[in-house]
A and B are shown apart, each in its own frame.
Chain A
């Protein structure tokens, strides 16, 4: 529906000045690529008053001119690419890609709300006897400066049976040191010079140790650490995902965030981000900060043992 609505909308724009007959041709364009001129002609013939092929070709030429399709080679694929590009940039296109909103920095309350919705949905589904398949919490960060803020949520999620996966940088990796150096040198953050990724990851692990202690077990909580290059921050609560890049000038939580809906039909963005998370999850190594255990020594040799 949205493609057809989009075609009607763009065909009616005054700047292109299409006639009703030309608009009728546009409405026969399919969204997926590869439609030949002959197929387009046949589609047109099926739902409109039949016309000669020569007249149809002439009508198409006018359409190309009006849409300023002037590149070399076949014009129909160029027209198709142009319209798809316009469609993706239109409101319907963004929604289809799952892009709900863009935040200037990490939306603390929005993520808390998403966690609450996930909790409610999980508890309701459990009451109905249906397991919640994709209702997980997942965080990918170098270190998560806001993890302590969500400690209570994490505890309640685990108690409700929600799977929680946390993927952080191994604090002794060269990649983590490089990220630290970059932030110290370029970040416009207050206290930038005092960034210490080792200590920050340790603080996250202490928070998770407290979560395990509170729940008396690590059931449902999975933590892995990676030694590769951090490039992306992801925060997932069920069908909601926040994504931010690691820029030279700021912490990821102080960078713009894409709020994405994982139920979107087009998985170009969401699928790419989730599969990168899974790739990192595969190469990362499991680690648990077991309470009352000397886990700092285990952490130190995680990648050298």
Chain B
């Protein structure tokens, strides 16, 4: 039932963390120049 669930959650975490981090960095960059 929960076979390999940790791998899926790991992949999910990496993807969403990277995208959210990208948005945060770009909002900061925009605030610097706007």
Partners in one complex: no
